Structure 1
Amino acid sequence: MNEFRTLKVLDRFRLLFEKFGINYVIMRRILQVKLTMDGRRVPTIIGNSGSAQDPKKDDQNKFLRSMWLYLVLGTLALAPIVMLNDNFIFQMSLVFGIVIFMALTSLISDFSSVLLDIRDKTILNSKPVDARTIHAAKIIHISIYLFFITAALSIAPLIGGTIRHGIIFSIIFLFELVFIDILVVVLTALLYLVVLQFFDGEKLKDIINYVQIGLMLVMTIGYQFISRLFNIVDLNYVFDGKWWQYFIVPVWFAAPFELFIHGDRNRVFLIFALLAVLVPLVSILIYVKCMPSFERNLQKLNDNSGRRKRGRPKGTGISRFLCSTQEERMFYRFTSDMIGNDRNFKLKVYPSLGLSIVFPFIFLFNFLQSQEWDKISSSKSYLLMYAAALFIPQVLIMLKFSDNYKGAWIYKVMPVRDLAAIFKGSLKAALVRLFLPLILLVSVIFIIVFGLRIIPDVIVYLLSICIYTVLTFRILRKALPFSEPYQVSGKGEGLLLFVLMVIMALFVGFHFLSTLVSYGVYIYMTLLIIANIVSWRRAFRTSWDRIIS
């Protein structure tokens, strides 16, 4: 096995670990094995694209080789914010908001499985290894990667901030990063502990999946509040303390810069600074106390008990209405079941769907800040509902992938006469199970906001979504549903996603132009109905040799 540099650095803290009753030699060996195994896993941020199949690179840690993406983000986005001015409470709130968001999303998408892993217990529990050493190895394993993430994100703003604001800035910045990493890991673990305490069996696995999705959505939506903490006065951002701002975590870590560099002893800044230090420290003390309970409750993940509903398969009635052939109905039900049961698929897709609900209202809220409500309600701002469809391509891309991709051999042995039936059934299932409920919800809310006058526009919107889904299928790389491993997801489709965004903008433009002509919306609606009928009949004609599986 490789002798990792991180372990050599860790060796210098051996006495500290042993003081807390941890068998350092065993912990180090566990970490060495885990870091070696990590070379086979590709992180979410690089889209799992490409080198996963190269045997020459099996021993290289692909996560570490993805750090350049974080470095680019830190250099292009965070460093300019830090160097722009010396309004620390505003600038550092934005910077730490991005750092916390990236660290938490990476922890959830790449390392929740490490935190909740119980497979190694089969080996380690039969050996003379105490639970404290095992759990310390788990936390250190995750912390090593969070260190690399925050380091890659922060190196450019650290250098820029030191040049711009002095050495005190860099000292505070480094301490803040340590507390942020502690807070992210420990609070996530404590949240999982609460879930483990109250649920078990299959229900537990579903709840954990929804918690992971919820965390990603909360972070994404919460980040929108950071810029709204401030009022713009004479082109400067002015902080106006409100009670709800105490719950915005990035502001806690921005306050010490105002205290120690500007010398601002504002009571609100003092409370924020105390929260930035005390909350991580208190949370880690609570976590240490709860560690035995956490380990015991993890065993619930081995419990596969749970009531399974019997009866007619989901979507049977809808499939008979939407699908014209028996084969199409079969693949509609198959895709519908996979969407509902594949937890990894839901973890990768549901956050995007949640954002598709939120984005139209974020844009609408931005309009409200600059315009009066009466003007907006009588305007064509309802076209912002198209923002809910921006994530359709990402979701359709994920329809190709599954952890159980090896079962795709079934496609070749089934007596499928029409290959188009597979794609039509799957796409209709995705529309009904994933897109339609969210898009209808957005449409209903926009009707309430803008009035019944936009109902024809909503119908045009729904028809546009249907044909946009077909166009997305035609443009993206084609593969049979759930037939590929996640290790090849996103390969060569970045430019296509940009093209699809342009196409969506064209749909918005055509819709806007139709509103400028008398009865133009109804004429456009008729054209879309015809286009949908033609496209859904002809767009799926393909052959086996054109499918990559």
Structure 2
Amino acid sequence: MKDYSILKLLDYGQGLFERFGVDYAMMRRMLQVKLTMDRRRVPTVFMQQQDADKRAEEEEKDSNLFVRSLWLYGLLGLIMIPIVVMGDHYMFQLSLVWAILMFMITTSMISDFSSVLLDIRDKSILQTKPVSPRTIHMAKTVHIIIYLSLLTASMTLPSLVAGWITHGFVFFLLLLTEIVLADMVIVLLTALLYVLLLKFFDGERLKDTINYVQIALSIVIAVGYQVIIRSFELIDMSLGYTFRWWQVLLPPVWFAAPFELLLHGDTSIPILIMTGLALIVPILSILFYSRLMDGFERNLQKLANNSGGGSASAGHSRLTDWAARILCRSREERTFFRFTLRMLKGEREFKLKVYPSLGFAIIFPFIFMFNALRDMGWEGMAGSWWYISIYFSGIVIPTVALMLNYSGSYKGAWIYLVSPVRYQSSITQGVMKAAMVRLFAPIFLLQSVIFTAVFGLRIVPDVAAMLLSLAIYTIICFAVFNKELPFSQSFAGKKGSGGAKTAMLLVLLGGFVLIHVAALFIPHGIWIYLVLLLILNGWLWKPKGEKDAGHSKGGQTA
């Protein structure tokens, strides 16, 4: 195995590790194996940028795809440079910088590092070997720190350089120190969250709960952006800061406070309190996490337990059968409808990639509505067209369409070859309908009910038109992304320029919004638009006589 440079650097701290009771030689060998295995793991941000041939070429070169993707994270970090250099309103600027940075690091943790934090293979393999638990725990911790440090450095290096040039060395040093502290908070609070989940849940319920927490975290992050922005008042093009008690609950504001204290000499009580939190919380997190580590590792074994309720499964089956009869036209389509629902229930990696997007799909329409409420008030907003923002719940559809190509059980795709299916459209339409029923329909229903309560029954025809428009949008997304049969490709071999296609489809979603708004300017236009959408949906969702799916290698989805 390759002797990595990071391991040679780690050798300088051998004495420190051994002082804490860690078998350094064993930990180093474990890290060497982990880093070697990491070549097979494709980071989320890179998965949409490489095709299969290029990935194979990189593997032949013995390179780590995560390391080679760091320039993409560096490009994301460029967006913080204008905020850092625009002035010396540190509470505003740095709160916004920390909100962006913590958002990007946290989402990367969710997408790329949850599998590391919740990995139980170390203990399963090594618990029968003469390796101390402390060494196993330290190897896992150092593994996470290595990649988190590389990720954070690539994101923050542009801002660090810009801050040094604009505000001086003290600013640079303070920002660098706080980046380390913020990383501690992000990693350790993520781990502590999993500790709580592991304490109260087991097996499949725990895994599902983790996915739901990912949705909740996405919502909290999106709302947090709005809270951070609302913390400041923009008056006559000058930024003024007014303390509010609830800002003590916002970590980005904590990490902005030391800049105000040290660079502006603000020694007010709120600034001192938040500066103290920025220093104390990471230290307390480390101490708390170290005490819970043994219990955390013991509870991780619950992930190996698969439990489920028989009655709940029976009820779910009856509901599934009812939905299949209502939505699917043929027996074959109903079969793949049920098949897709079962696949989506068990595909952990699919949930890991898609569920955070569900959080944004839930919250974005409400963010638009609350922004309108702030400017117009209840009466003005209730008579407006801001209910159109429900369209933006459709931002999750391209992600779903893309990810339905892939599966952890992709080797089972031979079933398509032996199944007596006459038309591929029966497969793809069953898959599309099942995915939308499970992932999109609950979001759209929730938003429709709330927006109807706010804007009144007058928007019911508009809601119907939005649902039909998004049904057409779903077909387009699947036609763009699904050139192969569903669940037939490996996540590790993910290919295609998904990023560019997703951007194009989001622009198309905006086109649907503009068409809907245009219809509102025409007398009875929404009813005319509704009839046209019904006709178009009836034609697009009609089963098509395509070639036999069992003997095709892939094809258009609809």
The 1:108–1:411 alpha-carbon spacing in structure 2 relative to 1, beyond 3 Å, is same
Moved more, 307-316 or 153-162: 307-316
Q: Letter of the 1:15 partner, please give it.
A: G
Determine the C-alpha separation between the residues in 1 that align with 2:414 and 2:133.
42
SS at match of 1:219: helix
1:148 equivalent to 2:153? Answer: no
Partner of 1:17: 17
Partner of 1:288: 290
Partner of 2:202: 200
Give how far 1:486 is off.
Answer: 1.6
Conserved 8 A contact 2:483-2:555: yes
Partner of 1:339: 344
Give how far 1:172 is off.
Answer: 0.5
1:402 equivalent to 2:407? Answer: yes
Matches within 5 A, 1:208-357: 208-309=210-311, 311=314, 312=317, 314-357=319-362
The 1:256–1:40 alpha-carbon spacing in structure 2 relative to 1, beyond 3 Å, is same
Normalized against structure 2, the TM-score is what?
A: 0.94
**Structure 1 unaligned regions, length at least 5:** none
SS at match of 2:233: strand
Q: 2:97 aligns with which of 85, 95, 99?
A: 95
Give how far 1:36 is off.
Answer: 1.2
Determine the C-alpha separation between the residues in 1 that align with 2:345 and 2:306.
17
Q: 1:422 aligns with which of 424, 427, 448?
A: 427
Conserved 8 A contact 1:42-1:52: no
SS at match of 2:356: helix
Q: Letter of the 2:229 partner, please give it.
A: S
Partner of 1:30: 30
SS at match of 1:537: coil
Determine the C-alpha separation between the residues in 2 that align with 1:116 and 1:502.
37
Determine the C-alpha separation between the residues in 2 that align with 1:208 and 1:499.
31
Q: Letter of the 1:301 partner, please give it.
A: L
Give how far 1:344 is off.
Answer: 2.2
Instruction: Let me know the Cα RMSD of the aligned residues.
Output: 2.0
Q: 2:62 aligns with which of 59, 66, 76?
A: 59
Percent identity reads 48
The 1:546–1:158 alpha-carbon spacing in structure 2 relative to 1, beyond 3 Å, is same
1:130 equivalent to 2:138? Answer: no
Q: Letter of the 2:326 partner, please give it.
A: F
The 1:512–1:305 alpha-carbon spacing in structure 2 relative to 1, beyond 3 Å, is closer
Determine the C-alpha separation between the residues in 1 that align with 2:536 and 2:107.
40
Q: Letter of the 1:342 partner, please give it.
A: E
Partner of 2:72: 69
1:509 equivalent to 2:514? Answer: yes
Determine the C-alpha separation between the residues in 2 that align with 1:3 and 1:217.
42
Give how far 1:307 is off.
Answer: 3.2
Conserved 8 A contact 1:420-1:542: no
Moved more, 178-187 or 208-217: 208-217
Partner of 2:469: 464
**Structure 2 unaligned regions, length at least 5:** none
Determine the C-alpha separation between the residues in 2 that align with 1:488 and 1:540.
30
Give how far 1:285 is off.
Answer: 0.4
Q: 2:391 aligns with which of 386, 405, 429?
A: 386
The 1:519–1:56 alpha-carbon spacing in structure 2 relative to 1, beyond 3 Å, is closer
Conserved 8 A contact 2:485-2:553: no
Q: Letter of the 1:52 partner, please give it.
A: R
Q: Letter of the 2:55 partner, please give it.
A: A
Moved more, 139-148 or 216-225: 216-225
SS at match of 2:121: coil
Q: Letter of the 2:19 partner, please give it.
A: K
Partner of 1:536: 541
Partner of 2:5: 5
Moved more, 489-498 or 195-204: 489-498
Conserved 8 A contact 1:424-1:540: no
Moved more, 440-449 or 139-148: 440-449
Q: Letter of the 1:360 partner, please give it.
A: P
Give how far 1:366 is off.
Answer: 2.0
Determine the C-alpha separation between the residues in 2 that align with 1:535 and 1:222.
40
Conserved 8 A contact 2:81-2:159: yes
Give how far 1:216 is off.
Answer: 3.5
Matches within 5 A, 1:479-518: 479-489=484-494, 491-518=496-523
Conserved 8 A contact 2:261-2:267: yes
Determine the C-alpha separation between the residues in 1 that align with 2:406 and 2:259.
46
Conserved 8 A contact 1:426-1:481: yes
Q: Letter of the 1:25 partner, please give it.
A: A
How many pairs align? Answer: 548
Give how far 1:404 is off.
Answer: 0.8
Conserved 8 A contact 1:397-1:490: no
Q: Letter of the 2:509 partner, please give it.
A: M
Q: 1:437 aligns with which of 439, 442, 462?
A: 442
The 1:217–1:54 alpha-carbon spacing in structure 2 relative to 1, beyond 3 Å, is farther
Determine the C-alpha separation between the residues in 2 that align with 1:53 and 1:405.
19
The 1:453–1:317 alpha-carbon spacing in structure 2 relative to 1, beyond 3 Å, is same
Determine the C-alpha separation between the residues in 1 that align with 2:206 and 2:267.
46
1:46 equivalent to 2:46? Answer: yes
Moved more, 250-259 or 392-401: 392-401
Give how far 1:313 is off.
Answer: 5.6
Q: For residues 48-76 of structure 1, what are the alpha-carbon distances to aligned partners after superposition, in whole Å with 9 as ceiling and x for unaligned?
A: 5334333744631111111001111222x
Conserved 8 A contact 2:211-2:355: no
Give how far 1:173 is off.
Answer: 0.8
Q: Letter of the 2:468 partner, please give it.
A: L
The 1:306–1:508 alpha-carbon spacing in structure 2 relative to 1, beyond 3 Å, is closer
Determine the C-alpha separation between the residues in 2 that align with 1:407 and 1:548.
21
Partner of 2:188: 186
Give how far 1:488 is off.
Answer: 4.0
The 1:314–1:410 alpha-carbon spacing in structure 2 relative to 1, beyond 3 Å, is farther
Normalized against structure 1, the TM-score is what?
A: 0.95
Q: Letter of the 1:238 partner, please give it.
A: G
Determine the C-alpha separation between the residues in 2 that align with 1:40 and 1:252.
38
Q: Letter of the 2:63 partner, please give it.
A: Q
1:547 equivalent to 2:555? Answer: yes
Q: For residues 273-312 of structure 1, what are the alpha-carbon distances to aligned partners after superposition, in whole Å with 9 as ceiling and x for unaligned?
A: 1001100100110111111111221222222344344544
Conserved 8 A contact 1:108-1:212: yes
